[in-house]
């Protein structure tokens, strides 16, 4: 059974009139967490795509950068997306349920937030509504302002950034703290670790891109200190 078939089965199990957000209550353990992760990206992504007042083709196509969707599974993916767009539940409800589902896995909450940044930037612009929504999702996820700032520095071209932001550390943090932050992010970005935690293999591309950015920031910080 493919990921998308399992997603469709989870959505089909909803009771009549039950909102999509409730599906997370049933997907608490592996391998269901893989399904929950994919639904989380799609559902919150559908909300973020509307945060700027319009849904563009680029934002919809951004899902294809996160997940490989075979032609025969497009209908299943579209069904989840449409349900999320039409659901009367607001994004905070989705975010709270996802936070509870991944309460023991902060790295998965970060992966979801990164996926949302990717979708928000798909049309080449970062709007105030998107910024407010993403900041609130980060707060609900319990990730903290530093994690939010670090992601915004990586995804938003016009955002104020420096390599310390990318690693989520302060300029006056001692070298040992900066190195520890770099090492932690490298560990958390390893594809095998994320797949074992429940991230679909198709969605590991974000982690690979993050790993490149993290290593680049680490090299830049070392170069500045050496200079």
Between 210 and 103, name the one with better pLDDT: 103
- Tell me which residue range forms the domain holding 103: 3-159
pTM of the full structure: 0.72
pLDDT at 178: 94
Mean pLDDT value of segment 121-136:
87
| E strands in the chain | none
DSSP code for 15: P
| Closest-CA residue to 22 (of 84, 103, 114) | 84
pLDDT at 202: 61
Q: Is 198 within the bounds of a domain? A: no
Q: Is 67 within the bounds of a domain? A: yes
Query: What digits encode the pLDDT tens for the residues 189-206?
Result: 887 887 777 676 666 777
Q: Is 218 within the bounds of a domain? A: no
Counting the structural domains of the chain, the total is: 1
Q: Is 214 within the bounds of a domain? A: no
Kindly report the average pLDDT of the chain as a whole number.
Answer: 80
Mean pLDDT value of segment 87-113:
84
Mean pLDDT value of segment 139-153:
87
Inform me whether the pLDDT recorded for 54 exceeds 60.
Answer: no
41 in Cβ contact with 108 (< 8 Å): no
Q: Is 95 within the bounds of a domain? A: yes
Residue carrying the six token digits 């991230």: 199
Q: Is 220 within the bounds of a domain? A: no
Looking at the chain, the whole-number percentage of residues with pLDDT higher than 70 is 84
Q: Is 27 within the bounds of a domain? A: yes
Determine the Cα–Cα distance for residues 20 and 13; give it in Å rounded to an integer: 10
Name every residue whose Cβ is closer than 8 Å to that of residue 42 and which is 6 or more positions away in sequence: 63, 77, 80, 81, 84
Q: Indicate the range of 29-38, 100-109, 130-139, 181-190 predicted with least confidence.
A: 29-38
pLDDT at 181: 92
CATH number at residue 42: 1.10.3680
Q: Is 137 within the bounds of a domain? A: yes
């Amino acid at each position: 059974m493919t990921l998308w078939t399992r997603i469709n089965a989870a959505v089909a199990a909803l009771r009549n009139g039950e909102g999509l957000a409730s599906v997370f209550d049933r997907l608490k353990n592996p391998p269901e967490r893989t399904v929950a992760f994919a639904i989380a990206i799609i559902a919150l992504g559908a909300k973020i795509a509307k945060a700027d007042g319009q849904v563009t083709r680029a934002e919809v196509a951004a899902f294809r950068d996160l997940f490989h969707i075979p032609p025969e599974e497009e209908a299943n993916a579209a069904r989840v997306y449409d349900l999320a767009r039409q659901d009367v539940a607001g994004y905070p409800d989705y975010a709270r349920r996802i936070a509870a589902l991944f309460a023991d896995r902060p790295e998965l909450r970060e992966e979801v937030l990164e996926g949302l940044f990717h979708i928000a930037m798909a049309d080449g612009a970062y709007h105030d509504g998107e910024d407010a929504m993403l900041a609130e999702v980060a707060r609900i996820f319990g990730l903290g302002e530093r994690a939010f700032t670090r992601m915004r520095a990586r995804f938003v071209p016009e955002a104020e950034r420096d390599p310390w932001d990318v690693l989520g550390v302060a300029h006056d943090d001692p070298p040992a703290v900066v190195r520890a932050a770099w090492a932690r992010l490298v560990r958390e970005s390893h594809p095998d670790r994320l797949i074992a935690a429940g991230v679909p293999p198709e969605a590991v591309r974000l982690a690979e891109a993050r790993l490149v950015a993290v290593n680049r920031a680490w090299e830049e910080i070392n170069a500045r200190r050496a200079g």
